[in-house]
């Protein structure tokens, strides 16, 4: 289908390819989320949370089921060794899939209490792992298992290489959701999607200065008016590509709204990948879409 977009700043025209086709890769899911790209195999993985599955798409082949029992996985990323790191709602944990297919639990507790339901996860080049922990996966049985939270906040956590337990680095947000580091890893952007369940809740992306494995106070950078912000990615020029109910919203590092790529379904998350790092995969409700763009994702081309 033809690309449908809006631009509010001339820079938008340098980010997209107007003649690029929006392709529907797959459909029939319940809630597609958590896309991640593996350059070593040139394939994407993503989650269908309510169906308890992971899907794989080798870009030169057809979509197939990667796992029929994902633990109601939501967010995924890859670490510096090319291993899959996932947020599992059912076990309320962050796990790593080893080369032999076994899983290692990286985080399940904080202060000897269960995490809420880890949601999204990213890694830094130093090997540390950062994740959000709202309560979405324990609110009902639809995306996990209904349960009472044991934490008294919804946090952002860091798992440093030299520490066994995740350290809470943000505790003041309502429903921290998607997250992404700036190109130089000096800022962590965190989406707060509290308006999904609270009409007066946040629908903002916050910027947090990074100091080693600690964060400074979150400051609101921009808000999403169409639905709530969820997944985010950063391109090579430090633009923020953020999901919304109408598509993929693009902002610069100062929070200026540049434009929007309209998608037929509400978008949950997105990922840069492909051989040149310029293929954007978009998980959108019941479907997954992709298109070529004029820029590369920050880490899409890094070899593990």
Q: What is the pLDDT of residues 124-163, one digit of tens each?
A: 999 999 999 999 999 999 999 999 999 999 999 999 976 6
Q: Model confidence over 221-254: pLDDT tens digits?
A: 999 999 999 999 999 999 999 999 999 999 999 9
| Per-residue CA distances from 135 to 17, 170, 175, 292 (Å) | 38, 15, 8, 34
HSE value, Cβ hemisphere, 13 Å, CA-based, for 240: 32
Closest by CA to 256, choosing from 8, 14, 5, 15, is 8
End-to-end Cα separation, the chain, in angstroms: 34
Mean pLDDT value across residues 185-214: 96
Asked if 299 and 285 touch (Cβ cutoff 8 Å), the reply is: no
- More confident of the two residues 64 and 300: 64
Burial classification of residue 269, based on how many CB atoms lie within 10 Å of its CB (0-12 exposed, 13-18 middle, 19 or more buried): buried
Amino acid 303: pLDDT = 62
CA distance 187 to 207: 6
Give the distance, in angstroms, between the CA of residue 106 and the centroid of all CA atoms in the same chain.
18
**pTM, full prediction:** 0.96
User: What are the tokens at 258?
Assistant: 């540049």
What percentage of the chain carries pLDDT values higher than 90? 95
Burial classification of residue 124, based on how many CB atoms lie within 10 Å of its CB (0-12 exposed, 13-18 middle, 19 or more buried): middle
């Amino acid at each position: 289908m033809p690309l449908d977009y809006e631009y509010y700043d001339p820079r938008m025209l340098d980010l997209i390819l107007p003649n690029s086709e929006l392709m529907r890769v797959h459909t029939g899911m319940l809630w597609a989320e958590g896309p991640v790209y593996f350059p070593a195999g040139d394939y994407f993985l993503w989650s269908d949370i309510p169906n308890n599955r992971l899907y794989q798409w080798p870009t030169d082949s057809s979509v197939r089921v990667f796992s029929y029992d994902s633990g109601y996985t939501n967010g995924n990323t890859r670490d510096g060794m090319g291993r899959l790191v996932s947020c599992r709602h059912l076990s309320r944990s962050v796990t790593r899939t080893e080369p032999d297919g076994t899983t290692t639990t990286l985080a399940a507790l904080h202060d000897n209490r269960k995490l809420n339901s880890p949601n999204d996860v990213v890694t830094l080049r130093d090997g540390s792992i950062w994740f959000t922990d709202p309560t979405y996966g324990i609110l009902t049985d639809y995306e996990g298992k209904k349960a009472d939270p044991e934490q008294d906040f919804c946090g952002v956590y860091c798992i440093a290489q030299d520490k066994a337990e995740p350290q809470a680095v943000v505790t003041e947000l309502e429903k921290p959701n998607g997250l992404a580091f700036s190109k130089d890893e000096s800022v962590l952007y965190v989406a707060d999607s509290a308006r999904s369940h609270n009409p007066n809740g946040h629908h903002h992306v916050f910027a947090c200065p990074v100091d080693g494995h600690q964060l400074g106070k979150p400051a609101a950078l921009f808000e999403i008016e169409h639905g709530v912000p969820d997944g985010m990615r950063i391109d090579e020029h430090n633009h923020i590509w953020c999901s919304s109910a109408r598509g993929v919203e693009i902002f610069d590092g100062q929070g200026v709204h540049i434009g929007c790529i309209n998608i037929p379904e509400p978008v949950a998350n997105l990922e840069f990948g492909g051989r040149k790092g310029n293929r954007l995969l978009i998980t959108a409700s019941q479907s997954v879409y992709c298109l070529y763009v004029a820029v590369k994702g920050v880490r899409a081309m890094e070899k593990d």
